[in-house]
Each structure stands twice: as C-alpha cells, then as structure tokens.
Structure 1
Amino acid sequence: MTNIAIVIVNYRTPGLVKECLASVARERAPGLTLKVYVGDADSGDGSTGIIRDYIAEAGLDFCTCFDIGVNGGFAYGNNHILEQHVLGDPGIDYVYFLNPDTYVRAGAIQALLTTLREHPKAGVAGSRLENPDGSPRAYGFRFPAPWREFFGGARLGVADRLVPSASVKIENLEETGQVDWVTGASFMMPRPVLDVVGLMDARYFLYFEEVDLMARVRAAGYEIWHVADSRVVHLAGQSTGVRSDEKLKRVPAYWYESRYKFFHDRYGKGQAVLANMLFLTGDLVYRAHRTARGKQILDAPFLWRDMIAHGFSLPKARGAR
C-alpha cells in the first residue's frame, strides 16, 4: 500500500477547492491511499465551513479541512499543514503539493508516482499544467540567474533565438524529462527527500518559494522531473489575483521582494543587485524597440517605481501574530 498526503492551502476559493477535491477523489485506486489536508489561510469568508460541508455531503472521508489561523503565505501554509498533520504520520510515503485552483486529469497522480518510482534519484515530479481547453501553460523552467534577467527584460525574439538557454521558461516541453524546477501548483516529493532538504522557506510570502525549494533539492543531489502524462488544469491567479494573462496588472510588492530574496540567497547580495540592474537595462532596450516600431509598451504598471521601492529589499517577517 502506498500512502500519499495531498496538501492544499486555500485562500478564498472554496468553490474551486470543491472541484479540486472531486477530481482527486476520482484518482483513488487499489493499493493507493490518498489523504487530503486542506488548510484555510484565514480567508474570512466561511471557506472552512463550506469545504467541510462539501466533504461530508460528498462522503470524502479521506479529506479533512481545518483553519491554519493566519495568512502567512503559500510556504507558511504548506509548512503548517505538514508540521501539524503530515510529518507526524510515519506511514506517509509521498507528499503531493496541489494548488486549490486546480483539478487533476485522469491518471495525473499515478503518473507522478510512477516517475518517482522509476527514477530513484528523483526528488520532485511536477505536472504538465493546462488551461481548461487543454492548451499548455508554463510548467518547466531553468533556474533564474542574473545574466538571464537582461534577456527577460529585453524580450527580443531574435535574442531568444540566438541564446535559447537565456529564457527561464523551457519552450515546447512535450516529453517527460529533467528540468531545473517545476511550478508549485502540482508537484510530488518522496517523504525521505523532504526529510533531507526540509520544508519551504516561510520567509517567502508568495512566489519563488518552490524555486528555492527545488534549488535545495538539486543541491542535495536529487533530480527534478517534468511529467508529461500528469495533466493538471491550473486556473492560475484565482487566489492571488496575479494572472499571467493580465499583462498590464500591477505586480504586488511581495513578488519583487521574493524575487530579490531568491537572487540574494542563491547568488549573494551583489549578484542580486546586478540581476535587477540587468533586468532594468533590458527593459530600456525593450521600451526602445517597441517605441521605434510604434507598438504599445506592455510593462506592468509602475514597474520601475515598484522595482526600486521593493526589488532591493528582503521580505519582512510574516506568519506570526
């Protein structure tokens, strides 16, 4: 019997959590025990009661929902669930981190499990993320590096063609294989690997916490796998309000702080500052070539102001009161 703990942090998306749980329920199979833990991050909208009522009405006795007590962010919420409900259970073999704004396609969980079993050095297996119509989202990536930030700011098609590895996102990722990191919306880890590398860094409020975790997984000698057969629909941004298809929406301060923390912790303060300067230099190139071609500049509102105000600061402590 294989036991998988599924960890879900909810923030004001009880309707989506119900759809997610319904999809997970269809994944139960002989020899596979699923234990689902839904923690509510102080939503203040009755989420806990709504989800508990659904669990009871649908007969999902393998699911439980409870209050975390504070909205300390994604890493904080996942860590709370693990510490309070999962890590004390020696029977858990794997931990599956799943966003509340997802639902899994048939066989998605089994595909992650199979990949981890087939590759003993695998420390993380992540899903192929899709839109509801089946079109792919971004799901496999290279680690951010200061030199890549210039290309990310410049957004020049010719540069991307000349230096394909400059992009953090790996394009046309159709086959199962190794990557630097996978999105935190749907990924599974063997319990022993989690015991070795530790939990997410709760100093990240939101964003980059999974990148940091997987950098530590790689540093410990494990592999990160993208699993093409594990198909999961991700309705991105429903909890955070930051959606990738809304190009001109202002980016919250915590995104800049999390980004700076990742560069700071991985490369040092000097390289973190360099990463920002390279990105802003690239953005000047982007603005110049868009203006010369008479095209709209599609930067997030107040990008420079927010980068300067928040992009050179580590996140403030959260999660306690």
Structure 2
Amino acid sequence: MAERERVDSVPLISLITINYNQAAVTCELLESTRRLNYPRFEIIVVDNASVEDPTERIAKGNYPNVKVVVSPENLGFSGGNNLGMQYAQGDYFFFLNNDTEVTPDLLDQLLKPFQANPRVGIVCPKIRFYFHPTIIQYAGYHPLNPYTGRTWSIGLGETDQGQYDQGGPTDFAHGAAMMASRRAVEEGGAMDESFFLYYEELDWSMQIQRAGFQIYYQPSALIYHKESISVGKASPMKVYYHTRNRLLFMRRNVGGFPLYVFILYYFCFALTKAVLLYAVKGQIAYLRSLTKAVVWHFKNKIRRPAKAVFPSVVTVS
C-alpha cells in the first residue's frame, strides 16, 4: 500500500519516441528504460509509416507500459511528436530520439527544475555521444546570432570534465532529449509541422519562450546519443530541409532590421557559396535541392503557432 501511494504521488511522465524503419534501434532504447529508477512513466512509440510495422516486435520485448501508435504517413519529427502527445496522459512529455539510451536517475533529475520554478517549460539533460561516452554533444545552447541565423550547442566535441556542470536557463532545447511540461505545451502550442526535419526544436524553443517559459539545461541529468561525432553525410534531402528550414526559422522568429540583414547575408554569401561549391563538384541534385528550398518560400505563407489540444481520455487499440 505504501509503495502504491508513493507511485501515485509523483507526476506521470510520458516518454515519446519516433520510429522510422529502425525497430532494432528503438528496441535498444526501450530496453534501456528498464534501468530507470523513476516509478511512474509511460512510453509512446510513434511509427512514422515504416516499411514494417514494429508493433509485434516491440510487443515481444515485453517492455514496461508501452503504447505503439502507427501513423499511415511519415509526419516527420514535429508531426510525429505532436501525434505522440495526443496519446500521452502524462503531466510531462519527454521527447527522446530513438537512438538514445537513458541513465537510471534521468527522469528524477529532469523534474527538479520544474519543481523549483513554475516558469520552466522545457528541461534538457546533458547529452554525450554514446560511442564516445566522455565527449559532450549538448550542454545548453549559445544565443542565436540574428544576423546570420547561426547558433551551436555549448560544449560540442569537448571532453566532459565537469566544466558545464552548472545548470540554468539556456536559449534552445536539443531535439534528441527534451522534457516539456503539459502546461507549457498547452500555453505555448504544439511543434510546427511545416519543418518536418531540422530546426523544429529551435523554432519550438522560441515559441515556448514567447509564451513566457524558460528553456533549462540540467547537467545532473545525463543521456547518451548514438549520433556520429562527425558531421553527418550530406544528401539532396538534407540540403533541401536545412536550406528551407533555416529560412523558415528566421522568418518565423526574427523580424525587422535583423531579418533584412540576415536575408542579405544569406543570399549574398551563404547561399552563393553553397551554389558555387555544388557547381564546381558537379552535384546537380544538390543544386536542384537549393532551388527547390528557396522557391518553397515564394509559394508558402508562414503559419503562426497553433495551440495544442489534448483529449482527456485516449484509448489505444
């Protein structure tokens, strides 16, 4: 009875992760959640229209309290997470890349900033590279340069020697692991689904902060990310979304004189440099992606953030 009362007294946390043709990787994450000390959590796996439905494979793993939501179409990062929230019952939503692995007290440590300050809206752990476990990927974010549209994570590539063990507000969350309160999402709105890939967590961070909430870096919470320590291989799709979404992010979040300077800088320097590079290398597909990304902005209006709406009861078959 005492144990049941202890469990019921703590907030329910909904872990939300997206699977896309990586059932084995997703199951490794689910396996790692067995080591979590926190007594009350559920897991929502959103499958983004994978070739093979992972439901049966996940069910065979007998992982704790998992719901699988299969989307008939690929909704991207933001759309998949928004769908996951619709099925989540938690007081907090913990968005996790499926290529991460958790540590035992991760959830307990992530909750502490919320409990200390009601204006904290999103909390991110320290992130290290899984295959280089002493190397930092994220220890908060540097402020955005409004004239170039650039920012980067603090500590990236550095050996963790405790130099970033002081927690506090930061400018942006990291999409690999970020916990948001239900209140912050309800007041700040869901993720904008037009991003699909890249820049969506930066945009959402700005959106949540405009609603009056803080983004918080919590170094006592630790997670490992299986992303490569080197820059990922380029592809026409990656070039398209990076180009399109950098412009989209700036148009949604920066205005006035800084936006005009950014546009001048981007088209006269950054974009021109990319065009020349791809032309010299004969990468025609990349040039087409750049063109397509820019043309998109002439055809589409910028959507303003939408409020999130959550059902009080959800039944998952």
Moved more, 275-284 or 172-181: 275-284
Offset at residue 312 of structure 1 (A): 5.5
Offset at residue 146 of structure 1 (A): 3.8
- Residue of structure 1 in register with 2:153 after alignment: 169
* TM, length-normalised to structure 1: 0.74
- Residue of structure 1 in register with 2:216 after alignment: 225
Q: Which runs of 5+ in 2 are unaligned?
A: 1-8, 275-279, 302-317
Q: Which runs of 5+ in 1 are unaligned?
A: 153-166, 238-242, 288-296
Offset at residue 211 of structure 1 (A): 1.2
Distance in 1 (alpha carbons) for counterparts of 2:99 and 2:284? 26
Moved more, 179-188 or 111-120: 111-120
Distance in 1 (alpha carbons) for counterparts of 2:144 and 2:82? 24
- Residue of structure 2 in register with 1:9 after alignment: 18
- Residue of structure 1 in register with 2:121 after alignment: 123
Written as runs of structure 1 = structure 2, the 5 A alignment for 1:281-320 is 281-283=268-270, 306-311=289-294, 313-314=296-297
Offset at residue 220 of structure 1 (A): 1.4
Higher relative contact order (CA 8 A, sep 6+): 1
Return the letter of the residue paired with 1:259: R
Aligned-residue sequence identity (percent) comes to: 22
Moved more, 43-52 or 192-201: 43-52
RMSD: 3.3
Is the 1:260–1:272 contact (alpha carbons within 8 Å) kept by the matching residues of 2? Answer: no
The 1:285–1:262 alpha-carbon spacing in structure 2 relative to 1, beyond 3 Å, is closer
Offset at residue 284 of structure 1 (A): 9.2
Is the 1:260–1:312 contact (alpha carbons within 8 Å) kept by the matching residues of 2? Answer: no
Distance in 2 (alpha carbons) for counterparts of 1:144 and 1:80? 29
Offset at residue 119 of structure 1 (A): 2.4
Offset at residue 223 of structure 1 (A): 0.9
Distance in 2 (alpha carbons) for counterparts of 1:235 and 1:3? 27
Q: How many residues align?
A: 276
The 1:209–1:143 alpha-carbon spacing in structure 2 relative to 1, beyond 3 Å, is farther
Distance in 2 (alpha carbons) for counterparts of 1:316 and 1:210? 21
Q: Deviations over 1:215-251 (max 9, x none)?
A: 11111111111111211111227xxxxx852365553
- Residue of structure 2 in register with 1:27 after alignment: 36
Return the letter of the residue paired with 1:246: G
- Residue of structure 1 in register with 2:277 after alignment: none
Written as runs of structure 1 = structure 2, the 5 A alignment for 1:231-242 is 231-236=222-227
- Residue of structure 2 in register with 1:265 after alignment: 252
The secondary structure found in structure 1 opposite 2:231 is coil
- Residue of structure 1 in register with 2:201 after alignment: 210
The secondary structure found in structure 2 opposite 1:257 is helix
